[in-house]
Amino acid sequence: MTLLSALLRRTALGVATLFVVSVLIFVGTSILPGDVANIILGQMATPESLAALRTKLGLDEPAHIRYLIWLSDLLSGDLGFSKAGAGTGTVGTPISEMLMPRLINTIRLGGAVAIVAVPFAVTIGLLAAMYPGTRLDRFVTFTTLGLISVPEFLVATLLVLVIAVQLGWLPATAYISGQETGLKLVRALAMPALTLVIVASSQIMRMTRATVLNVMNSPYIEMAILKGVPRRRIILRHALLNAIGPIANVIALNLAYLVSGVVVVETIFAYPGLAKLMIDAVQTRDLPLVQACAMIFCATYIVLIFIADMVSILSNPRLRHPK
């Protein structure tokens, strides 16, 4: 019952957050210099031609009116049209049509990374926490720190140079058309996924180790130790259970990053995902497209964080039954 009411409450709050985000994004992109018409005409724009194109593309309404139109369209399930690619024609591209293949690509890549990175990182982090100060712990510490301190684009470029250009094992670009299946898809995803596994694992690993160590400091663990409960049991039953909340949060933030923040990797591997689409949309001032991406990112984030919070609450009896 508490779970259901929490779910309802969170959904309402989530919608409120979405609304806040849409307003923030709209205001943010409105203060950017130029609009779609500026971008389409670029260097060759004149005041007259800009005005004419704006009329044609329906951009001459005041900003707040355009926002309200967008909002009412959204509420009726219509994401609107991207006008950036319409030229001087009146027919734009439906945004849902642009988003779907990108969304699938993003989920594919993010999913591939998460499946590998999360269990791997949590296990290693836990091992390091079980044996702090040992050689294993030091090794894990040095390796993960060494790897996270390397910028993503350096990791990616080194992988391309060695694996694709020198050895020729995998393609240099992860370009996928959507028709790939099986091995072909794995090959296309392998390089960007590898780069992201390296980036995402390290933080999860570090935070798992730190949180578990923190819990080990708690009085009840001390009590358990004094009572002579076996070490493995203490870590797995007690420490881990209590560390789950913060770890879940870190994992959720990393998963959200895999959906929305991997623009560098998408650029280097020419992988058509959502993050790059949103950057492109901002750069072309394609407002409905920016908004649509932002809504997806925001919803993803809200859902992930909700799950993380639920996990924390369920794993901590005190949070489950607040006094």
Q: How far is CA 209 from the centre of its chain?
A: 23
Count CA atoms closer than 13 A to 211's CA, side-chain side.
Answer: 23
The answer to whether residue 29 forms part of the interface with another protein (CB under 8 A) is yes
CA distance linking residue 85 with residue 284, whole number of Å = 10
The answer to whether residue 17 forms part of the interface with another protein (CB under 8 A) is yes
The one among 21, 79, 196, 198 contacting another protein by CB under 8 A: 21
Binding residues for another protein, how many (CB under 8 A)? 134
CA dihedral 8, 9, 14, 19 (to 10 degrees): 110
Q: Which is nearer to another protein, 118 or 174 (CB)?
A: 174
Give, as ranges, the residues between 70 and 89 that touch another protein (CB under 8 A): 82, 84-89
Q: Which is nearer to another protein, 76 or 230 (CB)?
A: 230
The one among 63, 73, 78, 101 contacting another protein by CB under 8 A: 101
Binding part of the chain for another protein, among 21-29, 60-68, 107-115, 116-124 by CB under 8 A, reads: 21-29
- CB of 278: closest distance to another protein in angstroms? 6
| Contact between 19 and 68 (Cβ < 8 Å) | no
The answer to whether residue 228 forms part of the interface with another protein (CB under 8 A) is no
The one among 206, 238, 240, 287 contacting another protein by CB under 8 A: 206
CA distance linking residue 143 with residue 159, whole number of Å = 17
- CB of 73: closest distance to another protein in angstroms? 18
The one among 5, 46, 179, 181 contacting another protein by CB under 8 A: 46
The answer to whether residue 96 forms part of the interface with another protein (CB under 8 A) is no
- CB of 188: closest distance to another protein in angstroms? 10
The answer to whether residue 53 forms part of the interface with another protein (CB under 8 A) is yes
Give, as ranges, the residues between 249 and 308 that touch another protein (CB under 8 A): 249-250, 253, 256-257, 260-261, 263-264, 267-270, 272, 275, 277-286, 289, 294, 297-298, 300-302, 305
The SS3 of residue 180 is coil
CA distance linking residue 110 with residue 115, whole number of Å = 9
- CB of 253: closest distance to another protein in angstroms? 7
The one among 31, 65, 75, 183 contacting another protein by CB under 8 A: 31
Closest CA to 246 of 189, 300, 206: 206
Q: How far is CA 4 from the centre of its chain?
A: 26
CA distances from 65 to 60, 61, 72, 295, 313 (A): 10, 6, 11, 19, 42
The one among 210, 307, 310, 311 contacting another protein by CB under 8 A: 210
CA distance linking residue 1 with residue 319, whole number of Å = 15
The Cβ of residue 306 has, within 10 Å, a number of other Cβ atoms equal to: 17
Copy the structure tokens of residue 103: 């969304």
Count CA atoms closer than 13 A to 56's CA, side-chain side.
Answer: 18
The answer to whether residue 195 forms part of the interface with another protein (CB under 8 A) is no
The answer to whether residue 11 forms part of the interface with another protein (CB under 8 A) is no
Give, as ranges, the residues between 168 and 187 that touch another protein (CB under 8 A): 168, 171-173, 175, 177
